[in-house]
Amino acid sequence: MVSVKVYSSPRCPHCQHAKKFLQENNINFEDFDITSNHEKLEEMKEKSGQMGVPVIEVNGKIIVGFNQAELRKALNL
């Protein structure tokens, strides 16, 4: 079972593309809105060292931005 977390913000177009990609590939994921959840923002910064979104975690692997090739690789698609 794959574990996927998406750290995003509502106005981020790349975040929307990433979530749409996951949905289209039938990948279940947890979505954390870092604009309204300070704890998840801090968690994202600690894990990735980044402030930009999306940050996607696949089974502990951090992918910064919507990198479809990296996502496919991490998800074995």
- Looking at residue 27, which CATH number applies to its domain? 3.40.30.10
Q: What's residue 1's pLDDT?
A: 77
Tell me the pTM. 0.94
Give pLDDT, residue 2: 86
Q: Given this model, what pLDDT does residue 32 score?
A: 98
Domain that holds residue 13: 4-75
Total tally of structural domains belonging to the chain = 1
pLDDT reported for residue 41: 96
Contacts of range 17-21, beta carbons closer than 8 Å, 24 or more positions apart = 17/66, 18/54, 18/56, 18/66, 18/71, 21/66, 21/68, 21/71
Query: What tens-digit pLDDT sequence spans the chain (77 residues)?
Result: 789 999 999 999 999 999 999 999 999 999 999 999 999 999 999 999 999 999 999 999 999 999 999 999 999 99
